[in-house]
Structure 1
Amino acid sequence: MKDISELIKNRRSVFPPQYNNIPVSDKLVNELLENANWAPTHRLTEPWRFKVLRGEAKDRLGKFLSDTYTDITPDIDFSPFKHKKIINNCKSANVIIAICMQRDLKERVPEWEEVASTAMAVQNMWLTCAAHDVGCYWSSPKLIDYMGEFFDFEEGERCLGLFYVGNYDKQEPLESKREPIANKIQWLD
């Protein structure tokens, strides 16, 4: 296992067009989800929910998303490139995990805390992918607002995005940069 600081600093978005055809194992998918389950959660609401799509389910999702894009996009804004990209992303990913949040029906905690908790669950999945040199990417297009037409959600449940997962050919390290943390801190005594 990699050093946690190194793992965090080297975590990257790896996009579906970069994936190869080598399958992601069920064992790894289960590890991703198990690690997600250990995210911090206020009052133990455990708001994260996941829907795992493989095979034909990915194709059905791609068709749904591309059809929905066509239906909601005015002709003047319609992009054939984007339409094709939606379908290709679903085909290129070995696994797609719909990132969902189940709002605590008693509303014991503010909603933002449950969104944050779900995001921390996704970060756990992302770091697990990075530790295994598996590519992943969290996408949250406007189309997620329509996911209730694709999935049967429980009361209070909604989709926060799609987590694309796939193996990729490692070449040079993927570059990223950050402004120095010192520029973002104010120390008070």
Structure 2
Amino acid sequence: METFVAIQSRSSIKKFSDETVHRELVEKCLESATWAPNHRMTEPWQFRVLLGDARIRLTEAIAEQMSALTSGEHEAAPEEHGTLICDRVAVSLKKLGDVRQSLEIEKIRRKLLSAPVIICVYSDQGGDPVTARENFSATAAAVQNFLLCAHDLGLGAIWRTAEYFEGPRVKSFLNVEGGATFVAAIYLGYSDQRQITRRRTSWEKKTLWI
């Protein structure tokens, strides 16, 4: 598939079939991700691939994290960004109450089981704010490489985000170092949804020639 055609024809897939995704296809997508541009060759990306019951165990880790946040048991993250996220999530969960929190966890469980493969992507922080920003950008580029490769291989995918992937218990479950920053949860599988025409604002309206 030509690059421009792949870019224009790729779309986010929210509904997946039960068809198994063979490991070598996932590996091909991961390999393509690692060829993303990255300043100073930091190669800051970390990938965690979840299959089968691992998606259920991730749900359990999220539930434990929610419970810890609402009870005030969560450990303060060493970095300010992580602390702010923990505090914001804790406040929002307390407002939910036990019943609604259970419903929220069930919603998360259904979402995590909606795709046969989930790849959680994190970026190394680096030693300073500039490097951290560059690393995040490089990892985002790696995610785009992954999505385009998946599309070329006939797979469907969607780039999702959620604050609970920044939490300490989820990071511990995924064996991610505390300082790493969450970038994406890629839901991967074979599409089971109808083709939707994509729309974009013309590049001319977003471009200023100087």
Same fold (TM over 0.5): yes
Distance 1:67 1:139 in 2: 21
Q: Conserved in 1, the CA contact under 8 Å of 2:171 and 2:177?
A: no
Partner residue of 1:153?
Answer: 176
2:189 pairs with one of 151, 159, 166: 166
Unaligned regions of 5+ residues in structure 1, if any? none
> Displacement of 1:110 after TM fit?
2.5
Distance 2:42 2:178 in 1: 15
1:100 pairs with one of 122, 140, 143: 122
Q: Conserved in 2, the CA contact under 8 Å of 1:144 and 1:160?
A: no
Q: Conserved in 1, the CA contact under 8 Å of 2:125 and 2:131?
A: no
Q: Conserved in 2, the CA contact under 8 Å of 1:148 and 1:158?
A: no
Distance 1:155 1:141 in 2: 17
Cα deviation code 1:110-143 (max 9, x no counterpart): 3111101000100010001111221111111111
Distance 1:142 1:3 in 2: 35
Cα deviation code 1:9-29 (max 9, x no counterpart): 1111112xx111101110100
> Displacement of 1:3 after TM fit?
1.6
Q: Conserved in 2, the CA contact under 8 Å of 1:23 and 1:94?
A: yes
Distance 2:62 2:129 in 1: 34
Cα deviation code 1:23-60 (max 9, x no counterpart): 11101000011000100011100001101111111110
Q: In 2 relative to 1, CA 67–156 (structure 1 residues): closer, same or farther, beyond 3 Å? A: closer
Q: Conserved in 1, the CA contact under 8 Å of 2:36 and 2:138?
A: yes
Distance 1:118 1:63 in 2: 27
1:36 maps onto 2:33 in alignment: yes
Q: In 2 relative to 1, CA 156–81 (structure 1 residues): closer, same or farther, beyond 3 Å? A: closer
Distance 2:102 2:144 in 1: 32
> Displacement of 1:69 after TM fit?
4.5
Cα deviation code 1:55-84 (max 9, x no counterpart): 111110122224544644124474666433
1:118 maps onto 2:118 in alignment: no
Q: In 2 relative to 1, CA 186–4 (structure 1 residues): closer, same or farther, beyond 3 Å? A: same
Distance 2:101 2:197 in 1: 29
Q: Conserved in 1, the CA contact under 8 Å of 2:157 and 2:187?
A: yes
* 1:1-189 map, 5 Å: 2-15=1-14, 18-69=15-66, 71=70, 72=90, 73-76=93-96, 78=100, 82-105=104-127, 107=128, 110-146=131-167, 147-154=170-177, 156-169=179-192, 171=194, 173-188=195-210
How well do the aligned residues superpose, as a CA RMSD in angstroms?
A: 2.2
The structure with the largest helix share of the pair is 2
Distance 2:177 2:27 in 1: 22
Q: Conserved in 2, the CA contact under 8 Å of 1:97 and 1:163?
A: yes
Question: In percent, how many aligned pairs have the same letter?
Answer: 28
